[in-house]
Structure 1
Amino acid sequence: MVNQEELIKIIQRIEQGNASVEDLRVYNAWCNQQQEDEADTADLPAKEQQMFREINRRIDRKIPPLKSWLRIAAAAVVFAACLTGVIRWMHPSRKQGPEIVAAPHPDIAPGTNMATLVLVDGRRILLSEAGNGKLADQKGTVITKTTDSTLVYQLAVSAPANHPAAAGGAFNTLITARAQQYGIILPDGSKVWLNAATSLKFPVNFNGLKERRVELEGEAYFEVAKDARKPFIVHSGRQDIKVLGTHFNVSSYKDEPEARTTLLEGSVKINGRQTLKPGEQAKVDRRGVVAISKVNADASVAWKNGYFEFNDENVYEIMTKVARWYDVQVIYEGDMPLDKMKGAMSRFQNVSGVLGIMEATGLFSFRIDGKKIYVTRT
């Protein structure tokens, strides 16, 4: 079990938003031990005791208030999972959702940090099998895999500042399958996190280009490095998102009726017309019609922070996300109730925990057969 000094460092990293997946797993295990031993936190410093109490207090609420919870969101959700579901799940027909009680389903493990990198020459690198360190040198850009499962693109020191590689059509593609996620730092310093079933095509460097254009299919969160001379453009099939430097999430799956862009910081322009402000979301339908509304922007990046959050979503919308993350096929047996549900849960738990939460609403029952999940109305 983790010692006190290591635990304090992990809690501090969680509070600061710098925790790794392994940090959260260790914290999750510690939470479980706390419940089993009914231990207290008296030996922890005052700051860590206060954080632990705050996590408990927030867990007792019906719906986690994410805007004020951002620094400890991942920790609280993982802690909720280890308490076998004290976060509550609600839908409009109930005054208060029942406590989560996990059903005894066979387990399917959650997704992991894995991806495939396709190089200019067509070579494919399975990143889960590649060692850390330098992977390749592409047209003067060095590609490195870090210890925290992130790809880093950096212009080689010896490469000329006006290296024309990108202008010559040198593109790489990072691909996550279902049940995979991965992060990348682009040659300009922009950071991108890819959700499951996503591909990102990008130049190996942006020198010699008038704009920094990338192509996205699926879902990704962007933190774009500022460069007033060279706008950053995300093309996602139904929309072009133009920015100079900002934080935003794009969800643009082919099997969904709308592409959604949610702005957390800065400003972006959709299709050269509408401009988003922080806290707004643009929905673009298949006809290209854009609708802008105010949303809980933090909820759109819950997946990046290690948990699911559902806001007024029905079973079909929820299970679409579950299917991608656990790489399962969902089969509906009969008509389903379309109650809008709200809730939050860890993405680190096995699928049995997620299904147990949904079963606790009294609306559905689930049956797992291999990689298929059968949904029945109760």
Structure 2
Amino acid sequence: MQFSDQFLRAINRYFNGTASEAEKDMINKWYHSHDDATVNVDVNQADYEQILESRLKQRIKESIGIQPVKQRRLWPRIALAAAAVAAIVFGVFFFKAPGKPEPGSGATNYTNDIAPGKNTATLTLANGKTIVLSDVKTGVIVGVNKLTYNDNTVISTEGRDLSSLRSVEMTSLSTPRGGTYQITLPDGSRAWLNADTKISFPSQFIGKERKILIINGEVYFEVAKNKEKPFIVVADQQEVEVLGTHFNINAYKDEGSTKTTLLEGSVKVSLLSGKRSDEGTVILKPNQQSLVTGSQGIAVKEVDAAEAISWKNGKFSFEREEMSSIMRKVARWYNVDVVFQEPLQEVKLTGSISRFEKVSKLLEMLENTKEVRFKIEGHKVYVTK
């Protein structure tokens, strides 16, 4: 079942206590339409969690039994079922926050919790003028003579010269650590920026191609079709050419490789060094991912493309992923520094949780494997055994 970005954002704001009455009403009506019993979402959080937990237990009891727990899974089978039911009710995964640890129990004390990232980005015009975009909006639309948010609200540009929007001069959009944003490019193509990401693009696509640059970070694209004008993305040592398709590029400089994952259509991935020949060029099919690493050329493997864009859909999703990679994602989204106090970087874990949760819930989930433990001090997360 697919849920709209608007619905997921409403859920996020509800659990943050900032949902509007209209959003509460939308959630309430949707929930009631999928459940015979009624629960008003405006009850207090403690009562609501108690009711939900009771319902989850009852549904699980009716459908499955408790299965053995496999080592290094992030939760036993019964918890997976609970999360699945929660996904049906809410459209997102969530887990109960850790309770207060008993003295001497060894449980992690998350008194210094950290909120998840949010919608925040900066648009830099060709003339160097910057616009800090609203954190209560989700995306920006770049037009010929004006800038608007996704809800068609015109962005105030008082004192700023927008003449560069009518030219081919380069404009950039960047998100900080702990930030995400969506942009509709001048040709109608849409791009979602993950945390700590920067892209650069011409204010208008004039000429035979539509070319943008990923300076750093991760971007999911839905490209507007135009057979006469290929869409080209340059990231680090590679170039991706498409006519109209959906794909994701992970080009963080600290990842060691550039990953391009195709969801639909086809794309051509080329090494910049081999662009003038067939060497260093591959054509990706849906559910394939290319990896460009240093001078080792291009490798291609089969993947679950949905896993690659889980971040765009509001989830952390790990499939036998190394702790070093997991904690890089945590560092970017929660804007924290991660310190490994023991050599646990290569421990592999599997699981999923909402990106809208505070960091304590994610860390508790990882701790349930008995493979790692955490301590939060300020904006540093320490990893230990």
Look up the equivalent residue of 1:322 and give its one-letter code: V
Which residue is equivalent to 2:208? 210
Residue 74 of structure 1 contacts residue 305 of structure 1 at CA under 8 Å; is this kept in 2? no
CA contact (8 A) 2:213 2:234 kept: yes
Q: CA RMSD in A?
A: 3.8
Corresponding residue for 1:246? 245
| 1:290-305 aligned within 5 A | 290-305=298-313
| Shift, 1:300, TM fit | 0.4
Q: Deviation digits for residues 218-241 of structure 1, max 9, x if unmatched?
A: 101000000000000000012100
> Does structure 2 conserve the Cα–Cα contact (< 8 Å) formed by 1:77 and 1:344?
no
SS in 2 for 1:235: strand
Q: Deviations over 1:127-175 (max 9, x none)?
A: 13799999997xx442112349999xxxxxxx9xxx9721xxx111000
Match of 2:182 in 1: 183
AA of the residue aligned to 1:176: T
**1:267-320 Cα deviation digits (max 9, x unpaired):** 000016200000000010011511000001100000011010011112111100
* Residue among 115, 118, 121 paired with 2:121: 115
Whether the 8 Å CA contact 2:321–2:349 is kept in 1: the answer is: yes
Deviation of 1:38 after TM superposition, in Å, equals 5.4
CA contact (8 A) 1:109 1:351 kept: yes
Distance (whole Å) between structure 2 residues aligned to residue 135 and residue 15 of structure 1: 22
Looking at structure 1, the residues matched to 309 and 88 of structure 2 have their Cα atoms a distance apart, in angstroms, of: 11
Q: Quick check: 1:315 aligned with 2:323?
A: yes
Unpaired stretches in structure 2, ≥5 consecutive residues: 18-40, 65-74, 99-106, 156-162, 276-280
State the structure with bigger RCO (CA 8 A, min sep 6), 1 or 2: 1
Aligned partner of 1:98 in structure 2 is none
**Structure 1 residues 63 and 204, CA, compared in 2 at 3 Å: closer, same or farther?**
farther
The CA distance in 2 between the partners of 1:231 and 1:177, in whole Å, is 29
Residue 145 (structure 1) aligned with residue 133 (structure 2): no
Secondary structure of the structure 1 residue equivalent to 2:92 = helix
Q: Of 77, 81, 84, which aligns to 2:92?
A: 77
- Match for residue 223 of structure 1? 222
Structure 1 residues 312 and 105: CA distance shift in structure 2, 3 A: farther
Percentage of identical aligned residues: 37
In the TM superposition, residue 102 of structure 1 has moved relative to its aligned partner by: 8.1
Match of 1:274 among 276, 279, 282: 282
2:182–2:190 CA contact under 8 A, matched in 1: yes
In structure 1, list runs of 5 or more residues that go unmatched.
1-11, 42-52, 86-100, 152-158
C-alpha contact (below 8 Å) 2:189/2:222 kept by paired residues: yes
Does the residue aligned with 1:77 lie in a helix, a strand or coil? coil
Instruction: Give the counterpart letter for 2:9 in structure 1.
Output: V
Could you give the per-residue CA deviations for residues 186-244 of structure 1, whole angstroms, max 9, x where no partner exists? 1111010000000010111113x110000012101000000000000000012100000
Q: Which letter maps to 1:350? A: K
Aligned to 1:46: none
Moved more, 226-235 or 267-276: 267-276
Q: What is the alpha-carbon distance in structure 1 between the residues aligned to residue 189 and residue 288 of structure 2?
A: 22
Output the amino acid matched with 2:212.
Answer: V
Residue 254 of structure 1 aligns to a residue in which SS?
coil
Matching residue's letter, 2:289: Q
After superposition, the Cα gap between the structure-2 partners of 1:372 and 1:228, relative to the gap in structure 1 and judged at 3 Å, is: same
Matched, 1:128 2:142: no
Equivalent pair of 1:132/1:144 in contact (CA under 8 Å): no
Which letter maps to 1:37? Answer: I
CA shift at 1:36, angstroms? 2.1
Tell me the matched-pair count.
317
| Letter of the structure 2 residue corresponding to residue 165 of structure 1 | S
Moved over 6 A (4+): 56-60, 62-65, 129-137, 148-151
Q: Partner of 1:330: helix, strand, or coil?
A: strand
Please name the residue that 2:110 is paired with.
104
Give 1:336 deviation, angstroms.
1.8
**Equivalent position of 1:90 in the other structure:** none
Is it true that 1:26 corresponds to 2:14 in the alignment? yes
In structure 1, the partner of 2:295 is: 287
Pairing 1:357–2:365 present: yes
| SS of equivalent residue, structure 1 residue 256 | coil
